[in-house]
Structure 1
Amino acid sequence: MLSRTADHLFWMARYMERAENTARLLDVNYQTSLLPQSSEAALTGWRGLLSISELSGEYQAKYDGITARDVMTFMVSDPGNPSSIFNCLRAARENARAVRGALTTEVWETMNQTWLEFNRLLKSGALAKDPAELFEWVKFRSHLSRGVTLGTMLQDESFHFQRIGTFLERADNTARLLDVKFHARNTEYFGTGVGNEAKEVDFYHWSAVLRSVSAFEVYRKVYRNVIRPEKVAELLILRPDMPRSLLACVNEVVANLEAVANDHSDDTLRRAGRLRADLQFGRIDEIVATGLHAYLTQFLDRVSDLGYGISRDFLMPA
């Protein structure tokens, strides 16, 4: 396969997954902002969202202060923000168009229709009317694109590069979601007693986090007890059977990298395998003891390094 074709397929999948995960981040922040809390606490949540998305500088250059409405506009529909859902869906569609011949008709039509329909929704004022409904729509279209890919694409190199892009992006975004939400509730919470009112707020906070990654029912099935932050972290970091966990994502990346391995990719495969081993044999009590923020920051650095290695070994030179 031409590296140019692999590059377009990889980034098509990454941008679609990024659009979905941005919608998930915004949705959980929007839902938690509706909980009883001070205005400063609500602003801290939106500020943390911009920080973890590495968009604080770009936002401050365009807006005077932080408000929920401005942050959502910036991250959903702003064409000047390269990470907005608008730009992610446009980039996914343009990458798909560039390799139209490598895709099935259903995959192309799903990408194209998603872009066209999203523009129609923005013009109709869907973001202002009901942000949560728009975020659900973005998530649904991402699910649809993955389902169509699984159901119609030949599982050859084209398929594998799409899967690598999808799960590398998902691992990155799950780690960012965990980091910002544990910071919002303060990592010192682990293992401490809190009052009834605080417990109630915590329940709704962690419920919103779990729902944002479609894991609320999964948590109940696996742990069968009250929602505890260390168990939320364990589910979303170390459970191989949780589709959006860090370990599940890295497992998929390694499996698909092995399927497309070439003479230059030994070091990238080694790095990916070592990251998987660290997750596979990790323990949540050890992670918490050493610091969750430090652990997730290191994980994000390693995922970024892995993405660079994949680009170097398979894709167009940066």
Structure 2
Amino acid sequence: MLSRTADHLFWMARYTERAENTARMLDVNMQTSMLPQSEQDAEQGWRATLGISELQSAYDHKYGRDGQFHTRDVLDFMVRDPNNPSSIFACLTGARENARAVRGTLTTEVWEIQNATWLDMQKRLKSNLLETDPSQFFEWVKYRSHLSRGVTLGTMLKDEAIHFIRLGTFLERADNTARILDVKFHGARDTSKDITQRDFYYWAALLRSVSGFEIYRKVYRDVITPARVAELLMLRGDMPRSLLACMDDVVENLKQVRNDVSADTERFAGKLHAELKFGHIDDIMKAGLHLTLTEFLENIYDLGNRVSRDFLVPLAA
């Protein structure tokens, strides 16, 4: 497969997944911001979301002139701002443009889903849905992402094209699951104490944001604790959005597209995979979850660059 074709497929999948995960991250913050808390705590929650998404400086540059912080500005910046490359608008536009560039490689159904999502998004953003019912808009973004993946798996030939799409999906999902988890844990002073009623709703909202609440109940059959949430989202291979499950698929799809120069990238991915597969949550919590997640994010970024170098159009330096 031509590297440019693989590049478009890879980034089509990454942008679609990124839009979904941005919606998930914003949705959990919307839910937790409605819990009883001070204005300062609520602002810190939103700033944590911006910070872990590496958007704080860009946000401050655009909105920080008057020194005031408004939730509506964060939503506008992370949902509809075309100048923010990580906004939902920019991601779904990027996914559609990459799909358009390789329409001959995609099935008609896959292209039509991408195009229809882009058209429908513009109508929804022109309405006041984001202001009146943001959770409904975020659910729509998640649904369109699910639809895209389902149609892709259900209609495309299982050749190199599907492997590059899956590779992009799971690299992006691993990155975003780590970020969503770190939004809550970052700055926490003590996660060993029993959680309060407010914390229960916070952790429940976090689990629901990654479709993990019912899975948590099925696996642990007990109260929600921070360590178990971290274990579920990092080390459980049977949890679809966990870091281990993502790396399972990254390693497998890398194997399917290997070439003469990709052995080092496969080894690097295998090392990340092994650290999760044989890791223990007690060791991770003792070492510091934020530190572990930060290191993982750095490694997954490096892995993405290695994939681009070996298979795709290399990223600009």
TM above 0.5, one fold?
A: yes
d(CA) in 1 for partners of 2:129, 2:167:
32
Of residues 83, 87, 90, the one that matches 2:86 is: 83
d(CA) in 2 for partners of 1:307, 1:47:
26
Deviations 1:14-33 (A, max 9, x none): 00000000000000000000
* Matched residue, 1:15: 15
* Matched residue, 2:71: 68
d(CA) in 2 for partners of 1:83, 1:190:
30
d(CA) in 2 for partners of 1:277, 1:218:
23
* Matched residue, 2:24: 24
Q: Secondary structure at the match of 2:241?
A: coil
* Matched residue, 1:38: 38
**Any conservation in 2 of the 1:46–1:67 contact (CA below 8 Å)?**
no
* Matched residue, 1:247: 244
* Count of matched residue pairs: 312
- Worse-matched range after superposition: 65-74 or 284-293: 65-74
Matched, 1:288 2:285: yes
Deviations 1:154-187 (A, max 9, x none): 0100000000000000000000111111126x1x
Letter in 1 for 2:251: V
Q: Secondary structure at the match of 1:247?
A: helix
1:88-107, aligned counterparts within 5 Å? Answer: 88-107=91-110
Q: TM-score, normalised by structure 2?
A: 0.97
Structure 1 residue 66, shift from structure 2 partner: 2.3
Of residues 156, 178, 181, the one that matches 1:178 is: 181
Of residues 121, 126, 130, the one that matches 1:123 is: 126
**Any conservation in 2 of the 1:3–1:316 contact (CA below 8 Å)?**
yes
Q: Secondary structure at the match of 2:211?
A: coil
Q: Secondary structure at the match of 1:189?
A: coil
**Any conservation in 1 of the 2:235–2:279 contact (CA below 8 Å)?**
yes
**Any conservation in 2 of the 1:247–1:280 contact (CA below 8 Å)?**
yes
**Gap runs ≥5 in structure 1:** none
Q: TM-score, normalised by structure 1?
A: 0.97
d(CA) in 1 for partners of 2:209, 2:34:
15
d(CA) in 1 for partners of 2:314, 2:283:
38
Structure 1 residue 125, shift from structure 2 partner: 1.5
d(CA) in 2 for partners of 1:123, 1:213:
27
Percent identity between the two aligned chains: 66
**Gap runs ≥5 in structure 2:** none
Matched, 1:192 2:193: yes
Deviations 1:31-56 (A, max 9, x none): 00000111100000000000000001
Q: Secondary structure at the match of 2:104?
A: helix
d(CA) in 1 for partners of 2:214, 2:314:
42
Q: Secondary structure at the match of 2:152?
A: helix
**Any conservation in 1 of the 2:194–2:225 contact (CA below 8 Å)?**
no
Letter in 2 for 1:101: G
d(CA) in 2 for partners of 1:210, 1:168:
20
Structure 1 residue 317, shift from structure 2 partner: 2.1
Deviations 1:195-246 (A, max 9, x none): xxxx100100000000000000000000000000000000000000000000
Matched, 1:271 2:268: yes
**Any conservation in 2 of the 1:47–1:66 contact (CA below 8 Å)?**
no
d(CA) in 1 for partners of 2:131, 2:85:
21
Deviations 1:132-175 (A, max 9, x none): 00000000000000000010010100000000000000000000
Letter in 2 for 1:111: Q
Letter in 2 for 1:239: R
* Matched residue, 1:297: 294
**Any conservation in 2 of the 1:6–1:314 contact (CA below 8 Å)?**
yes
* Matched residue, 2:231: 234
* Matched residue, 2:207: 210
d(CA) in 2 for partners of 1:282, 1:10:
29
d(CA) in 2 for partners of 1:46, 1:151:
38
d(CA) in 1 for partners of 2:226, 2:57:
30
**Any conservation in 1 of the 2:167–2:253 contact (CA below 8 Å)?**
yes
Deviations 1:244-294 (A, max 9, x none): 000000000000000000000000000000110000000000000000010
d(CA) in 2 for partners of 1:78, 1:304:
24
Letter in 1 for 2:191: F
